[in-house]
Amino acid sequence: MIKAVLFDLYETLISEFANGTRKVPRLNDFQEQWGLTKQEYDEEWRVRQVRRMKGTFPDFPSVLRDMWQSKGKTLDEAYLQSLYQARLEAKKVPFDEISPNIIYMLKQLKSRGVRIGLISNCTEEEVRAWDRSTLAPYFDDAVFSYTTGYAKPDKEIYQLSLRNLKVEPREAIFVGDGGSRELDGAAAAGLQSFHATWFLSEHFSGKITGFEKLAQPQDLLERFTG
């Protein structure tokens, strides 16, 4: 019997995109002015991906400082803080526009006595709005990678969520858009995994195979046997 559903966050419960376009453009127009080319910025940002997700850097400003220092340069502190505030505002936007279909799905799961957990690969500024969101009250537990030292697809982060929810792997399922190989990680941890495609284009959803696809949140309810 399934007792719990574990969800991914970005592009599963919330989305940064609307009609294929970012709701808030990336902050990518400042690199040349402050001593890094766009290519340098993208490379330095990418090589810090795992460390950002696992909490090596406490916040967004510390990441930028490290990036510029790696090139023997400094970033104006006042401008850095303005970038931080802009990023915080940008990351709040997806939480302000929760799909009614997502809320309905969560309500239905709760009405069935199902425990609901969240596992998100994220940094602190990306989930600052979580506690005040309309999603949070439906969740029995939320695991944010930057607080744990683990990140999907590490099996430890799934195991932590299962312990918090007091369920065994066979009693839970995982639902996510598939980024960061999260479906493979969940399967390796003993969870049945479902590929949530409702926010994805056909192009991106087709890149992941081997997992049952859910085209709409309602599809999860129709397949749920708990």
Q: What tens digit of pLDDT does each residue of 149-193 get?
A: 999 999 999 999 999 999 999 999 999 999 999 999 999 999 999
Classify 4-18+97-223 by CATH class. alpha beta
pLDDT for the residue numbered 38: 84
129-154 tens-digit pLDDT: 999 999 999 999 999 999 999 999 99
Lowest mean pLDDT among 2-6, 46-50, 79-83, 102-106: 79-83
Is residue 125 predicted with pLDDT exceeding 60?
yes
pLDDT for the residue numbered 36: 87
Report the distance separating Cα 117 and Cα 23, nearest Å. Answer: 26
Is residue 31 predicted with pLDDT exceeding 70?
no
67-75: average pLDDT: 93
- The band of 223, judged by pLDDT with boundaries at 50, 70 and 90, is confident
- The band of 25, judged by pLDDT with boundaries at 50, 70 and 90, is confident
Residue 79 near residue 65 (C-beta atoms within 8 A): no
26-30: average pLDDT: 65
pLDDT for the residue numbered 35: 83
State the chain's mean pLDDT as an integer: 94
Choose among 98, 159, 153: nearest CA to 130: 98
- The band of 226, judged by pLDDT with boundaries at 50, 70 and 90, is very low
User: Domain boundaries in the chain?
Assistant: 4-18+97-223, 21-93
DSSP letter for each residue of 125-180? GGSTTSTTSSSGGG-SEEEEGGGTT--TT-HHHHHHHHHHHT--GGGEEEEE--GG
82-114 tens-digit pLDDT: 999 999 999 999 999 899 999 999 999 999 999
Give the percent of the chain with pLDDT over 90: 85
Choose among 114, 120, 159: nearest CA to 140: 114
pTM of the shown model: 0.96
Report the distance separating Cα 58 and Cα 75, nearest Å. Answer: 18
